[in-house]
Structure 1
Amino acid sequence: MSQKMDFDAIVIGGGFGGLYAVKKLRDELELKVQAFDKATDVAGTWYWNRYPGALTDTETHLYCYSWDKELLQSLEIKKKYVQGPDVRKYLQQVAEKHDLKKSYQFNTAVQSAHYNEADALWEVTTEYGDKYTARFLITALGLLSAPNLPNIKGINQFKGELHHTSRWPDDVSFEGKRVGVIGTGSTGVQVITAVAPLAKHLTVFQRSAQYSVPIGNDPLSEEDVKKIKDNYDKIWDGVWNSALAFGLNESTVPAMSVSAEERKAVFEKAWQTGGGFRFMFETFGDIATNMEANIEAQNFIKGKIAEIVKDPAIAQKLMPQDLYAKRPLCDSGYYNTFNRDNVRLEDVKANPIVEITENGVKLENGDFVELDMLICATGFDAVDGNYVRMDIQGKNGLAMKDYWKEGPSSYMGVTVNNYPNMFMVLGPNGPFTNLPPSIESQVEWISDTIQYTVENNVESIEATKEAEEQWTQTCANIAEMTLFPKAQSWIFGANIPGKKNTVYFYLGGLKEYRSALANCKNHAYEGFDIQLQRSDIKQPANA
């Protein structure tokens, strides 16, 4: 007996990706759409990440959608970079202006999504046991939203306040408290810098020292903002034709093609200007690809650490031992934080955490750090984490966690073989860029593809195994041309114990990625298995 189709499309996620998917499919394709999010409101990753110091590493005027010209002109731009509350405020404005919330069921986690081959429908079950069916499934689960909790003996017996940065509660007070922070990645750098002036005492448990440069989050004048808004068309054109989509002048100058004096001057200017991506990609064109150039950047930052940190022993602990080949960090005074009398640095690679007790942290050398609050800034099971944690089954009941056991694969980061009519936003092997422009590019391609299936009486569209394997190999080949795989980084899954170190991103840049999407569409979806509608299959719910 065939099932009734409840919706044309089900969207999971209420961040940048989910909101735009609802807008495109509901308002432009006029499909019947239902969206879910486990949060109480929109904002996706930014709904959960409310920790002190939370800040984008993308400049404010480009951490937004390009498609709403009115909102671009009314966008509140106060500083060069945008803080978490302002991202949430912006996404609220988008949702309210376009009445997107009426398509959402909040406070609702999706438990499972199973593909029914007989009816060519996705069957979605929520945490409450409610079941819904749809022709298309759009998963906007978030790149950085599956929390990675540290597996440390005794962590659950800690009697003080225990917080993970990605599940931050309201109204946390640090006054008079002894605080510990585990983790010194992007989130850790931000939260450490923000908490140090507020806490009675702060202990930083560092596993890996980080390269970080000043963020340079300066206030923008009315004249600066007017110049941006008057030139938005030109700015966005530059974004679409760039590799990183950060609005940078992406350098093509090899670092070793200039004198040592000039090289130092270029680095110094970037240090004073601020911005992690600016430092890595606007100074010279080969820092991420040439070892000699990379070492020059390493040495410059290490020199700054030695200058800033007054205690040579602490400065030495803060010196990274890895390549400068992770997502480039920036900060609001991170290294200077370790000059404070109330801040202590523990190198837990040299002196590991043995156990967490009711009252604090026990180290291998016998030292005990008493704490009132412990903050886990231990990042995320990034990219595929939310996919393998959800019960997603494709054809023949194939569980995605099993299909991706040896590492995730996809075709262009948006589709997966064995999972017909399922489209991912920021899935594995999508572009490594400023995220909103990549999200827009993917959602627009997904919308165009769904429109194609509706107009051409297509029952299902599915990436072929060959196309998926070829794309995955392309991503691996491009990654091998860079230094990124040589560093232990979350962008290759290295932050999760036991997780296979594999490629998770397409590092060929946004311009080339958009070309790949366009070529696929313009060549009648070459690389896809397309099945036409059968007479016994239900037509779209809006028909």
Structure 2
Amino acid sequence: MSEPDFDAIIIGAGMSGMYQLLRLRELGLKVRVFEAGTGVGGTWYWNRYPGARFDSESYSYGFSFSKELLEEWSWSEHFAPQPETLRYLNHVADRFDLRRDIQFRSRVASAAWREATRDWEIALDDGSAHTARFLITAVGPLSAPTLPNIEGRDSFDGQSFHTSRWPHEGVDFAGKRVAVIGTGATGVQTIQEVAKTAATLTVFQRTPNWCAPLHNAPITEAEQAGIKASYPEIFRRCEETFSCFLHTPDPRGTFEVTAEEREAFLEKLYGEPGFGIWVGLYRDMLTDPAANAIVSDFIARKIRSRVTDPATAEKLIPTNHGFGTRRVPLETRYYEVYNQPNVTLVDIRETPIERITPTGIRTSGGDHEFDIIVFATGFDALTGSFDRIDIRGIDGRSLKQAWTGGARTLVGMMAEEVFPNLLMLLGPHTALGNIPRSIEYNVDWVTRLVAHAHAHGLTRVAARPEAVTAWMDHVMAIGEGLLSNQVDSWFTGVNRNVAGKHIRTIARYSGSAPDYRARCEEIARGGYGELSLA
């Protein structure tokens, strides 16, 4: 049997691809990373839109694997902006000499399993081909941007771009008539920045989202010293919490306390930095509709108090989902933007967009002229980045076709048996939450599996069908009763701009991160009995 070009090929040089490269290098393996962009960083390379930043605390987000790295890097803000994060990831790449094994401007077009040689043949869009024993995807859960299905979308004569494909040279909004389509997390961050300088900003909103204050601030010298001294405690806390944030649900039930206590508790969370107002609520607020109605009413009252025009305030309050059942954007004076005379909110449920014209956007209410159109229309989440690569397993079976109607995985890191030696970082049904904490665990688990195969002379590993079925049964069971799984969002695999993704599925692991890790450890400790090894 001929030897492949590489022991492993990794797709993507974001945080997961970089860390996976480092870990496999430590095993002495020959590894190549293919990255479509011109630099490292993944999410933080592509998403350069104004206002892009963490909503996890910076010091809980960075890599934890190197004490030296933790000591030498100082975050400037509690929630770092994109440029700083990209500098950090470039620093990591330099410090660990990662670039020598990364090939940039290299987009993977296809990957085909070769049963006879037990390896993958990976073809790039430039026509070149490479082989590897293991194919590891580090493509990110939110990396395949989607544009809206609007007639005439490409006919606009001005500047237009998706938030995740922002011009590297930046965009000057001063004196410009700007449209932003979309009010999800990226839309919220973009809108609050564009409104500062644009002559006019028109926001086209289909579905309002519940937003809460970020409460960002610079990190003082004293805080910096305290953070660095507390890193072991910080990461231990992230390991213990439900979704790897510094915040975790309050153990009390909503109706176990008085109305006055509830109000004070919600006020406290609303006034604190970060995701506490979302993931630190009473334990039943994301499962009990009556409990959720209380926090939804609280946030609605906050919106009404911050937006001066009552009609505009009502348009910004969601009516089709409760607070926290979709991803909650964190904002800085987002709602106050709508009090500015240069900002207009267009509810496209009332006046739908009919088409994009060479001069702007036409709705049922008339024509709007613009110099710049920003598409803050999100991503084909979780499976979209896989769908854009023609991945073929045994007998040429397509991964995209296999996942029609919803992905099937084993612990989110392996696909079905017909895709041997395909390992996924942050694939569907992994525990997400605070992403880098999930990345480090996924990478370490995959590394141990590759090391096991290498040590035992194994050239083929695949998930057994019964193990995939058992895992999917668990994923479905753990998701029952969650209000978020009863709502259309990327959590449930719905994207109305993508054909075939209009039906809800359980697209993510809804249980706790500690429970997820425990189940993954069972597989490893049991000698990988859930896998077919050869």
Matches within 5 A, 1:194-209: 194-209=193-208
Q: CA deviation at 1:274?
A: 3.2
Deviating more after overlay: 248-257 vs 456-465: 248-257
1:526 counterpart residue number: 529
Count matched residues.
527
2:445 counterpart residue number: 445
1:167 counterpart residue number: 165
Q: CA deviation at 1:171?
A: 2.4
Q: Deviations over 1:384-416 (max 9, x none)?
A: 101011010111111111111121111001001
Matches within 5 A, 1:147-186: 147-169=145-167, 170-186=169-185
Following the alignment from structure 1 to structure 2, what is the Cα–Cα distance between the partners of residues 416 and 89? 34
TM-score (normalizing by structure 1): 0.95
AA partner of residue 179 (structure 1): V
Q: CA deviation at 1:526?
A: 2.1
Is structure 2 residue 353 aligned with structure 1 residue 353?
A: yes
Is structure 2 residue 181 aligned with structure 1 residue 193?
A: no
Q: CA deviation at 1:198?
A: 1.1
Is structure 2 residue 349 aligned with structure 1 residue 341?
A: no
Provide the secondary structure at the position in 2 that maps to 1:9: strand
Q: CA deviation at 1:294?
A: 0.8
Is structure 2 residue 331 aligned with structure 1 residue 328?
A: no
Q: Deviations over 1:445-470 (max 9, x none)?
A: 10000010111121211011111122
Following the alignment from structure 2 to structure 1, what is the Cα–Cα distance between the partners of residues 511 and 295? 22
Provide the secondary structure at the position in 2 that maps to 1:34: strand
Provide the secondary structure at the position in 1 that maps to 2:123: strand
2:482 counterpart residue number: 482
Provide the secondary structure at the position in 2 that maps to 1:380: coil
Q: 2:79 aligns with which of 78, 81, 84?
A: 81
Kindly indicate whether the alpha-carbon contact (under 8 Å) linking 1:323 and 1:487 is maintained by their aligned counterparts in 2. no
Is structure 2 residue 515 aligned with structure 1 residue 512?
A: yes
Following the alignment from structure 1 to structure 2, what is the Cα–Cα distance between the partners of residues 525 and 220? 44
Over aligned residues, Cα RMSD in angstroms? Answer: 1.1
Q: Deviations over 1:314-369 (max 9, x none)?
A: 1111111122211122101111110000000000012110111001111113x211
Q: CA deviation at 1:281?
A: 2.2
1:390 counterpart residue number: 389
Following the alignment from structure 1 to structure 2, what is the Cα–Cα distance between the partners of residues 242 and 526? 29
2:431 counterpart residue number: 431
Following the alignment from structure 1 to structure 2, what is the Cα–Cα distance between the partners of residues 329 and 297? 16
Following the alignment from structure 2 to structure 1, what is the Cα–Cα distance between the partners of residues 88 and 339? 36
Following the alignment from structure 2 to structure 1, what is the Cα–Cα distance between the partners of residues 279 and 251? 9
Matches within 5 A, 1:313-324: 313-321=311-319, 322-324=321-323
1:62 counterpart residue number: 60
1:122 counterpart residue number: 120
AA partner of residue 522 (structure 1): R
Following the alignment from structure 1 to structure 2, what is the Cα–Cα distance between the partners of residues 54 and 352? 28
Q: CA deviation at 1:310?
A: 0.5
Unaligned runs of 5+ in 2: none
Matches within 5 A, 1:226-241: 226-241=225-240
Q: CA deviation at 1:284?
A: 1.6
Unaligned runs of 5+ in 1: 532-543
Provide the secondary structure at the position in 2 that maps to 1:529: strand
Q: CA deviation at 1:74?
A: 2.0
Is structure 2 residue 505 aligned with structure 1 residue 502?
A: yes
Kindly indicate whether the alpha-carbon contact (under 8 Å) linking 1:244 and 1:433 is maintained by their aligned counterparts in 2. yes
1:52 counterpart residue number: 50
AA partner of residue 426 (structure 1): L
Deviating more after overlay: 128-137 vs 475-484: 475-484
1:19 counterpart residue number: 18
AA partner of residue 36 (structure 1): F
Following the alignment from structure 2 to structure 1, what is the Cα–Cα distance between the partners of residues 432 and 383? 14
Kindly indicate whether the alpha-carbon contact (under 8 Å) linking 1:155 and 1:355 is maintained by their aligned counterparts in 2. yes
Kindly indicate whether the alpha-carbon contact (under 8 Å) linking 2:242 and 2:248 is maintained by their aligned counterparts in 1. no
Q: Deviations over 1:185-242 (max 9, x none)?
A: 0000100011001100000000011110100102222222211211111221121122
Following the alignment from structure 1 to structure 2, what is the Cα–Cα distance between the partners of residues 496 and 117? 37
Provide the secondary structure at the position in 2 that maps to 1:248: coil
Quote the sequence identity (%): 39
Following the alignment from structure 2 to structure 1, what is the Cα–Cα distance between the partners of residues 191 and 255? 35
Kindly indicate whether the alpha-carbon contact (under 8 Å) linking 1:323 and 1:486 is maintained by their aligned counterparts in 2. no
